Chain A
């Protein structure tokens, strides 16, 4: 067999593996299942893309990141590999039929978690020779994780359904208890663990304490007067992202600013992502919807205008800075009330006790012994006034407790007990999330090294830096000298006259700019 390095060079045009990749791939090829934590930007996807190219059968990847999925399919196509396909809710019925009819032609099949509920698709997949089953963002299976996905609870059953193929569980962020939870939730798999440090030594940390939210805008203006660098500003609110982008646009007419959130139409989102990648945009004000598929090497500043709900999300977001390994800075803007917005988000994530009450009192009023009651999701969401996430959480719980079978409510002897348990569970999870938020809030107020504190709970090694570590270790933004390559957007703006512009755009083979 060829050396892995040769294959890497041939298919991906890299000369060497990054930390951990080779060890993980070797285990997989030997048929060992792997649980791996690799830092964001460390090239997680290569760990299954490379095996997909050299194995006989199919590699299935379950990933909750729709855009990432699409991006990887596109990226592989660009590299000339027409072997990947994504099955998710974006497909039209027609596309899905087409994909399913030629399923065996693909080496790499990406699935979104809700497709795990689709028996037709699962049955089709089962007929394939599955050489590797990949669970991307594996922390989503953990109910303690920051992005719990109820659909992931079906994974163990599916792995058994597929005759226990070699399994790779990947995540960028997992504390020891989340790692244990992943292992517990997948008893069908015998994992060997590959845990790699998460610390990114080229990112310096600053928390800027401000007396009230109004000062955040002022801070940004002062900051961008000094530094004009590719920057991402994270918000928890679409409206605020939009407002601040407009404010910055007016303040810095020579800079190119955009806002990005899930409500924009898909072409606009594409344009913004690609402009940012091509250095046509300087500052993007975004929600967490941005960045999953963005592998831009030279993001220098990651600013948190709002706080995420826990350290894991925070680490994921700052991980987008400095993929070129050059010096970058994470700045978090904090006011004394900073915990309120994430608290509200946590509070709305799970159904309220009153909703659970209402649902169970309705269920107990039905006589299901004669006939089960089929379930229409939309009707229940309206009836209970819950969000889709909340409803899926409820439904999964009821499936586990055998109150829902084959998408119908069936008779159950001990509804009261189940209800009590559910309410207890919701309370427990809310408490846990509040505790996680509290960790992040405490991190804002620590007087120890921020790098140490941030990675403390992950029990992975942390670098000791002489300089450019964090504000607690004496770093301040005023002394920062960013890497000199300032590839700012200004130089790529459209020409004054549309006539020249049109000519150069449409006929690049005649009027190629000197590069």
Chain B
């Protein structure tokens, strides 16, 4: 799944970006560039799906792909896929549950949710049979404190809580492929068994640690999505619910810019007041456009220009900024084009949903 996901990403950015763009995307780097890439190349579902991926491991993967003739990287550091990987992607397009991945907000909610649900299952299954003799598998103090307060609220209906949990999890797991369901269950630590490590799951399934990490992440994102769709309130305290608003999905610095814009500061004033480069503030604004669908572009570009840029994109069928800029005889700045792309992409997505 690891290699499939990388190739899938590389295919989308083929000839336009360097492999590192995919690394930042999988790892979930919170920069304007990465967030924009995710939107431009329709890869935002994969944002932050492997936050613990190290640069070294990713690079190793890329070297493997080059050596085995799956991809070529040009001197300008652009990626091209070989025929071999195109047919691989076609052949296995149904084999990996990429549709379990739902992007930024879900991805960011997973690590905490995972820790809480694992610790809750371990704690409550023990207490349900009056056994206090266990060591928490989650070391994190904040999660341990959380479980203490959660327990205070549920202490008199632990068994009911577990029965409901069982019903909900069972209802969710039967919607998954059986391999994913099995993985989820094997990872659980409960009264009668300590859960499997990532390495053990990899060994049992003849795959890599990366494959397991990504699949578990995908399963958990899908569980969060399922919770959202079916309004499973039992789980709400285990997540930072609601996690589907976007404003939190901005860098802290961009949030500050956002506040200042709302208070009527101009782009240039923000830059000089905060001692930032104007281009940095522009990055923030692009970020804001992605995050806040209602954000007004009128201060930066007029309606007519927006129309021209959209038209150009349609004609040249290319999302590369430099191509768009050249096609329009450099009438518009990169910043303006990025704004339109950010907004246009959002609108298009909305259109899909309806």
Contact = CB atoms under 8 A, between A and B. Distances in A.
Contacts of B253: none
A275 B135 contact: no
Nearest to A497: B182
A244 to B, nearest CB: 14
B166 A507 contact: yes
Nearest to A94: B142
Chain A facing B: main interface SS: helix
B173 to A, nearest CB: 7
Contacts of B315: none
Contacts of B159: 509
A505 B125 contact: yes
B182 A78 contact: no
A501 B197 contact: no
Given A505-B125, A505-B192, A513-B192, A268 B186 contact: no
A492 B193 contact: yes
Nearest to A71: B135
A270 B129 contact: no
Given A502-B170, A506-B166, A270 B138 contact: yes
A74 B137 CA distance: 11
Contacts of B132: 78, 80
A3 interface: no
B134 interface: yes
B193 A92 contact: no
A474 B232 CA distance: 67
A80 B163 CA distance: 27
A507 B163 contact: yes
Nearest to A505: B190
B190 A506 contact: yes
Interface residues of A, number: 40
Interface in A471-515: 492, 494, 498-499, 501-509, 512-513
A395 to B, nearest CB: 29
B353 interface: no
A509 B196 contact: no
A152 B121 CA distance: 41
Chain B facing A: main interface SS: helix
A280 B193 contact: yes
Interface string A65-86: 0000011001100101000000
A372 to B, nearest CB: 31
A427 B159 CA distance: 65
Interface string B147-185: 000000000000100110110011001000010011011
A117 interface: no
Contacts of A71: 135
B197 A271 contact: yes
A258 B125 CA distance: 26
Nearest to B187: A271
A78 B135 contact: yes
A215 B166 CA distance: 50
B186 to A, nearest CB: 5
A105 to B, nearest CB: 16
A91 interface: yes
B243 interface: no
B293 interface: no
A95 interface: yes
Counting chain A CB atoms within 10 Å of each CB, the highest count among B52, B142, B188 belongs to B188
B199 interface: yes
A33 to B, nearest CB: 33
B199 A258 contact: yes
Interface string B99-136: 00000000000000001001001000100110011111
Contact of A92 (B135, B142, B163): B142
Contacts of A502: 166, 169-170, 173, 185, 188
A267 B129 CA distance: 24
A508 B135 contact: no
A99 to B, nearest CB: 10
Contacts of A275: 194, 197
16 contacts: A80-B132, A249-B203, A258-B197, A258-B199, A266-B140, A267-B137, A270-B136, A274-B189, A280-B194, A498-B178, A498-B182, A498-B185, A498-B186, A502-B185, A505-B188, A512-B192
Given A266-B139, A270-B135, A275-B197, 12 more contacts: A78-B133, A266-B140, A267-B138, A270-B136, A274-B135, A274-B194, A280-B193, A494-B186, A503-B166, A503-B170, A508-B125, A508-B191
Interface of A: 70-71, 74-75, 78, 80, 90-92, 95, 249, 256, 258-259, 265-268, 270-272, 274-275, 278, 280, 492, 494, 498-499, 501-509, 512-513
Which 8 pairs from chain A and chain B are nearest by CB? A505-B190, A498-B185, A508-B191, A506-B166, A498-B182, A266-B139, A274-B194, A275-B194
